[in-house]
């Protein structure tokens, strides 16, 4: 911890000295009820107010350093970053045009497959955009963790496309079941949270919708043990998981990368060592990074490009046309170019570490 006059430690020491100068004593380590009450009612507030008034300059300097670092990250990874921006632009444009072309017939004769895949693709674009910002800020492990969502969207999109309109309708209708489970969890814990988040009227409205869904699809559809894949009928297989869906659509080749990305989602020990932004990941030498890195952006960058290309292609291929085939092939070529660009820059880092 810093020992400058405006450091947290020095400010806290000054507060304690001021309190002691008034003839008071803090019996540390025996914190009796009187001292605990004092800390809660006064001293903690004094500390926070002084920090607010004294560290503003430090925070401004920190923001400037962040901006400079992001500029350096962009210089290093400029080509693949620019290509990722291009990929997002194309995917947004072609999806917008596709949805506009098919909106009239979707309203007159519902196409559940197109509706489900269009929403999936829009969600994929949002997640992709979030990942780009993490990459440009120098947070490869965060970007890789976020890519897991994109991969899941791709797997489910291909699964819906493979099984057709009935599966797509089940998938869309399952939102009611998820809302009901969420409402149950809120009611269970809102007393502990000391707030009223859901009225009885709202809960009953959700429950009524679930009762209607149960009549349509059966009790298995709303069984908590089947969550979150209760929308997949057990006639295909008794139980479902992302891994099984992944295998059924032949995207399981990405499972090792998904598992790697998972280390930084869960709070296990491997996540302390496996950080993409750290060059030396030897357990005995590891220092857990608490800030951004200019290293390790290739894997999340490549995976992100691949998954958005897959989800967009899945949407476009619901309607077979020369135009959609051309766009899908162009997307494939762009994704290949992005992967090559990331690999070349990552290889340069490897050369530098060996030199």
- The two three-digit tokens of residue 79, written as one number: 């080509």
pLDDT of the residue at 250: 96
Average pLDDT, integer, range 334-355: 86
pLDDT of the residue at 35: 60
Q: What percent of the chain has pLDDT over 70?
A: 86
Average pLDDT, integer, range 225-236: 92
Q: Are 339 and 332 in contact (CB under 8 A)?
A: no
- The two three-digit tokens of residue 208, written as one number: 């009524």
CA–CA separation, 343 and 339 (whole Å): 6
Closest CA to 275 of 267, 285, 286: 286
- The two three-digit tokens of residue 152, written as one number: 């899941």
Confidence band for 321, pLDDT divided at 50, 70 and 90: confident
CA–CA separation, 100 and 54 (whole Å): 54
Beta strands in the chain (DSSP E): none
Cis omega (within 30 of 0) for bond into 68: no
CA–CA separation, 88 and 132 (whole Å): 10
Average pLDDT, integer, range 46-64: 83
Question: Does the structure show a pLDDT above 90 at 335?
Answer: yes
74-81: long-range contacts, CB 8 A cutoff, minimum separation 24: 74/136, 76/294, 76/345, 77/135, 77/297, 77/301, 77/342, 77/345, 79/341, 79/345, 80/301, 80/338, 80/341, 80/342, 80/345, 81/132, 81/135, 81/136
CA distances from residue 335 to 24, 308, 339 in whole angstroms, order as listed: 68, 9, 6
CB atoms inside a 10 Å sphere around CB 66: 14
Chain centre to alpha carbon of residue 53: 34
Confidence band for 108, pLDDT divided at 50, 70 and 90: very low
CA distances from residue 79 to 82, 318, 320 in whole angstroms, order as listed: 5, 32, 33
Q: Are 80 and 338 in contact (CB under 8 A)?
A: yes
Question: Does the structure show a pLDDT above 50 at 29?
Answer: no
User: Looking at the whole model, is its pTM more than 0.75?
Assistant: yes
Closest CA to 308 of 157, 101, 115: 157
Question: What are the domain boundaries of the chain?
Answer: 8-54, 80-354
CA–CA separation, 287 and 285 (whole Å): 7
CA–CA separation, 17 and 140 (whole Å): 44
Helices 78-108 and 322-354: angle between axes, nearest 10 degrees? 150
Element (H, E) at 143: helix 140-163
What does pLDDT average to over the chain? 86
- The two three-digit tokens of residue 345, written as one number: 């820059």
Confidence band for 41, pLDDT divided at 50, 70 and 90: low
CA–CA separation, 163 and 243 (whole Å): 17
pLDDT of the residue at 104: 52
Helices 140-163 and 298-316: angle between axes, nearest 10 degrees? 20
pLDDT of the residue at 165: 93
pLDDT of the residue at 87: 98
pLDDT one-digit tens code per residue, 232-265: 998 888 888 999 999 999 999 999 999 989 988 8
pLDDT of the residue at 22: 61
């Amino acid at each position: 911890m810093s020992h400058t006059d405006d450091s947290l430690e020095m400010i806290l020491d000054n507060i304690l000295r001021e309190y002691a100068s008034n003839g008071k004593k803090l019996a540390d380590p025996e914190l009796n009820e009187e001292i605990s009450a004092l800390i809660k009612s006064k001293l903690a507030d004094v500390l926070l107010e002084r920090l607010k008034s004294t560290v503003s300059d430090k925070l401004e300097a920190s923001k400037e350093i962040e901006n400079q670092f992001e500029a350096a990250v962009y210089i290093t990874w400029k080509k693949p970053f620019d290509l990722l921006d291009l990929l997002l632009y194309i995917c947004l444009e072609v999806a917008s045009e596709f949805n506009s072309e098919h909106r009239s017939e979707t309203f007159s004769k519902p196409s559940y497959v197109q509706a489900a895949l269009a929403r999936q693709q829009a969600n994929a674009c949002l997640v992709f955009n979030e990942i780009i910002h993490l990459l440009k800020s120098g947070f490869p492990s965060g970007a890789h963790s976020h890519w897991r969502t994109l991969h899941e969207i791709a797997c489910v999109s291909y699964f819906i496309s493979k099984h057709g309109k009935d599966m797509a309708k089940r998938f869309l209708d399952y939102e009611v079941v998820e809302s009901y489970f969420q409402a149950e969890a809120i009611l269970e814990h809102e007393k502990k949270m000391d707030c009223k988040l859901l009225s009885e009227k709202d809960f009953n409205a959700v429950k009524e919708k679930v009762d209607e869904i149960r009549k349509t699809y059966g009790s298995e559809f709303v069984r908590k043990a089947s969550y979150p894949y209760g929308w997949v009928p057990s006639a295909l297989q008794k139980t479902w998981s992302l891994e099984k869906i992944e295998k059924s659509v032949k995207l399981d080749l990405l499972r090792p990368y998904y598992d790697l990305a998972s280390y930084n989602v869960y709070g296990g020990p491997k996540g302390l060592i496996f950080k993409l932004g750290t060059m030396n990941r030897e357990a005995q030498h590891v220092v857990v990074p608490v800030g951004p890195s200019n290293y390790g952006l290739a894997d999340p960058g490549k995976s992100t490009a691949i998954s958005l290309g897959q989800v967009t292609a899945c949407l476009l291929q619901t309607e077979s046309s020369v135009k959609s085939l051309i766009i899908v092939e162009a997307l494939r070529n762009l994704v290949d170019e992005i992967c090559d660009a990331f690999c070349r820059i990552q290889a340069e880092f490897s050369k530098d570490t060996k030199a």
